[in-house]
Amino acid sequence: MKVRKAVIPAAGLGTRLLPATKSVPKEMLPIVDKPTLQYVVEEAVKSGIEDILILTNRSKSSMEDYFDYHPELEEKLRASGREEEADAIRGIADLANIVFMRQKETLGLGHAVYCARSFTGDEPFAVLLGDDVMDGEKPVTLQLVEAAEEYGCSAVGARHVALDQIGKYCTLRYEEMPGEDKIFRLLDAIEKPRPEEIFSDFAILGRYVFTPGIFTALADQKPGYGGEIQLTDAIARLAKRETVLAVDFEGRRFDTGNVPGYLETVVEYALSSPEYGGWMREFILKKARELS
């Protein structure tokens, strides 16, 4: 099996970042000088993905504009000798074959993924959440693609999280796989578990590879936590029919979908930016001195 396609659900309402997200999609908020969504697309491309479907909604057309050519802007940059910037602006639209589809009703992540079935057809595909940025030395999606291709099955990205935080994520029941210390077999999953439902501190975080079997599970998936069609519920059902791997991936994960998470991401990326890192460090040290 070969994973060539990816789906990026970015159709959520982003209510935790209001009022900014009233008219700016959270996926378009900048992390230093690039929108979150560009980092996510670049991770997919570095993982060998050629075709990308971005799920959007009626108030998020700026995402389509961003991945299109902008001849007027390019011309202006070139006219003033800013060739490199003009090439970079053009390069964004050439990153991959990107198509867009609207999720007409915001019924949940599971529903968003189900909307992608005509795009993926009978091929396996990756899913990358549009507001989660990952900075693994080896792209996190590639880590999942390699596991999924080796075993010929679905794979989800998972990490151990603090047990008192697990209620914000999902909890996994899993078992070891012979000869593997980072890859496990997923047995069950519960989204936003109550304390008495917790299986473990192992949770799925933002990256997935699925066989088309996920659509069979999603086709009749009932609404779950929060009244939404939950992807986790469909994964739990898929795991009872097919092998699903939980890959304890390497790399850091940044959730840009809430204010503290977004601010943390901006500061971390600014610190590691070749252009602004030195400035950011000095600024933080100066602020720390002022505050102490």
Query: From the CB of 43, what's the least distance to ligand UTP, in Å?
Result: 14
Query: From the CB of 93, what's the least distance to ligand UTP, in Å?
Result: 21
Name the closest residue to ligand UTP (Cβ).
Answer: 12
Q: Is the dihedral of CA 271, 259, 15, 9 positive or negative?
A: positive
Nearer to ligand UTP, 3 or 112 (CB): 112
Binding site for ligand UTP (CB under 6 A): 9-16, 55, 103, 106-109, 111-112, 129-131, 257
- Residue 129 corresponds to which tokens in the numbers above? 């959440």
Q: In what order do the strands lie in the sheet with 244-248?
A: 97-102, 51-56, 5-9, 125-128, 202-210, 154-160, 244-248, 183-191, 170-176
Nearer to ligand UTP, 107 or 187 (CB): 107
Answer whether 52's CB lies under 8 Å from 67's CB.
Answer: no
Nearer to ligand UTP, 153 or 229 (CB): 229
Query: From the CB of 252, what's the least distance to ligand UTP, in Å?
Result: 18
Query: From the CB of 150, what's the least distance to ligand UTP, in Å?
Result: 27
Looking up tokens 């997935």 gives 208
For residue 12, report the phi and psi dihedrals to the nearest 5 degrees.
-70, 165
Nearer to ligand UTP, 15 or 272 (CB): 15
State the virtual CA torsion across 262, 265, 209, 124 in degrees, nearest 10: 80
DSSP bridge partners of 98: 52
> Taking Cα atoms as reference points, which of 143, 108, 138 lies closest to residue 230?
108
Nearer to ligand UTP, 63 or 247 (CB): 63
Query: From the CB of 224, what's the least distance to ligand UTP, in Å?
Result: 13
Nearer to ligand UTP, 203 or 280 (CB): 203
- Residue 69 corresponds to which tokens in the numbers above? 């050519």
H/E stretch holding 175: strand 170-176
Query: From the CB of 109, what's the least distance to ligand UTP, in Å?
Result: 4
